[in-house]
Amino acid sequence: MSNIEGLLKQHGKPDKEVYLDWENGSLVDKEVYAEMRPYYLERTFGNPAITHRMGWETLDFFMKAKTKIAKPLNIDPQALALTHSFSESNNLAIKGIAKMNKKRKKIIVSEAEHLSVIHTAKSMFSDQYKVEIIPVSNDGTMNLDILQERINDDTLLVSLQAVNHEIGTIQPVKEALEIVKDKDDSILFHTDATSAFGRIPIDYGKVEVDLATINSNRILGPKGIAGLYIKDGIKIKSIYEGQLSLEILSPDVENPALLAGFAKAVEIQFNRFDEIKNHTQNLRDKLLYGLQTSIERTEINGPSGERRAPDNVNISYLGCEGEALTVECSMNGIYVSSGSACTSRVLMPSHILTAIGRKPEVAHGSLLMKINRLNTEEQINYVLERMPKIINRIRSITGGIEL
Amino acid sequence: MSSRIPLPYAPRVLELFQNPQNLGRMEDATVYAAAGSPACGDMIAFYLKLDEPNALIIKSSFESYGCASNIAAASQLTIMIENKSLEEAWKITWADVSEALGGLPSVKTHCGSLAVGALRRAIRTYYKEKELKLPTWLPEELSKDEKHALEEEALAEKLAKKYKLLEKRD
Bridge-based pairing of strands A18-19 and A334-335 is parallel
Give me the long-range contacts of B125-131 (CB less than 8 A, separation at least 24).
Answer: B125/B31, B125/B32, B125/B33, B126/B30, B126/B31, B126/B48, B126/B50, B126/B86, B129/B31, B130/B52
Closest-CA distance, B128 to chain A, in angstroms, reads: 22
Residue in chain B lying closest to A165 (CA): B1
Q: What is the pLDDT of residue B165?
A: 57
Q: Is A320 a catalytic residue?
A: no
Cα within 13 Å of Cα(A40), Cβ side = 7
Do residue B41 and residue A357 have CB atoms under 8 angstroms apart? no
Please, is A389 exposed, middle or buried when counting C-beta atoms within 10 Å of its C-beta (0-12, 13-18, 19+)?
exposed
Interface of A with B in 139-168 (CB under 8 A): 166
Q: Are B64 and B54 in contact (CB under 8 A)?
A: no
Do residue B163 and residue A368 have CB atoms under 8 angstroms apart? no
- Sort out which chain A residues have CB atoms less than 8 A from B169's CB and list them: 135
| Secondary structure element (H or E) that encloses residue A212, with its range | strand A211-215
The verdict on B19 touching A (C-beta cutoff 8 Å) is no
Each domain of chain A, given as residue ranges in start order, spans: 3-20+273-398, 30-271
Alpha helices in A252-376 (DSSP H): 256-271, 273-294, 322-331, 351-355, 360-363
Domain covering A30-271 in this structure, CATH number: 3.40.640.10
- Sort out which chain B residues have CB atoms less than 8 A from A324's CB and list them: 17, 66-68, 70-71
Three-state SS for A174? helix
Question: How far apart (Å, rounded) are the C-alpha atoms in residues B136 and A243?
Answer: 71
Exposed e or buried b for every residue in B30-65, given b needs 16+ CB within 10 A?
bbbbbbbbbbbbbbbbbbbbbeeeebebebbbbbbb
Type of residue numbered A2: S
- Sort out which chain B residues have CB atoms less than 8 A from A3's CB and list them: 8-11, 102-103
Question: How far apart (Å, rounded) are the C-alpha atoms in residues A379 and A222?
Answer: 24
Do residue B42 and residue A138 have CB atoms under 8 angstroms apart? no
Mutate to test the interface with A, among B1, B13, B42 (most CBs of A within 10 A): B1
Over the stretch B79-137, which tens digit does the pLDDT of each residue have?
999 999 999 999 999 999 999 999 998 888 888 899 999 999 999 999 999 999 999 99
Mutate to test the interface with B, among A134, A143, A165, A359 (most CBs of B within 10 A): A359
Three-state SS for A81? strand
| Secondary structure element (H or E) that encloses residue A394, with its range | helix A377-398
* Overall CATH class of domain B11-169: alpha beta
ipTM > 0.90 (yes/no):
yes
Q: Are B112 and B55 in contact (CB under 8 A)?
A: no
Over the stretch A173-191, which tens digit does the pLDDT of each residue have?
999 999 999 999 999 999 9
pLDDT at B34 over 90: yes
pLDDT at B144 over 80: yes
CA B101 to chain centre: 15
The percentage of chain A sitting over the pLDDT mark of 90, rounded to a whole number, equals 91
Average pLDDT over residues A158-170: 98
Question: How far apart (Å, rounded) are the C-alpha atoms in residues A335 and A329?
Answer: 6
Do residue A397 and residue B20 have CB atoms under 8 angstroms apart? yes
Please, is A390 exposed, middle or buried when counting C-beta atoms within 10 Å of its C-beta (0-12, 13-18, 19+)?
buried
Q: What is the pLDDT of residue B170?
A: 46
Q: Point out the catalytic residue in the list A207, A342, A374, A384.
A: A342
Question: How far apart (Å, rounded) are the C-alpha atoms in residues A258 and A233?
Answer: 28
Question: How far apart (Å, rounded) are the C-alpha atoms in residues A34 and A221?
Answer: 11
| Planar angle of CA A328, A331, A335, nearest 5 degrees | 80
Three-state SS for A52? coil
Architecture of domain A3-20+273-398: Alpha-Beta Complex (3.90)
Q: What is the mean pLDDT of chain A?
A: 95
Residue count of chain A: 403
Q: What is the pLDDT of residue A1?
A: 46
pLDDT at B167 over 90: no
Interface of B with A in 41-80 (CB under 8 A): 41-43, 45, 63-68, 70-71
Over the stretch A83-130, which tens digit does the pLDDT of each residue have?
999 999 999 999 999 999 989 999 999 999 999 999 999 999 877 899
Q: Which residues contact B148 (CB under 8 A, 6 or more apart)?
A: B110, B113, B114, B117
Of the partner residues B1, B67, B102, the one whose CB lies closest to the CB of residue A324: B67
Q: Are B107 and B52 in contact (CB under 8 A)?
A: no
Mutate to test the interface with B, among A2, A5, A7 (most CBs of B within 10 A): A7
How many inter-chain contacts (A to B, CB under 8 Å) are there? 141
The pTM for the full model equals 0.94
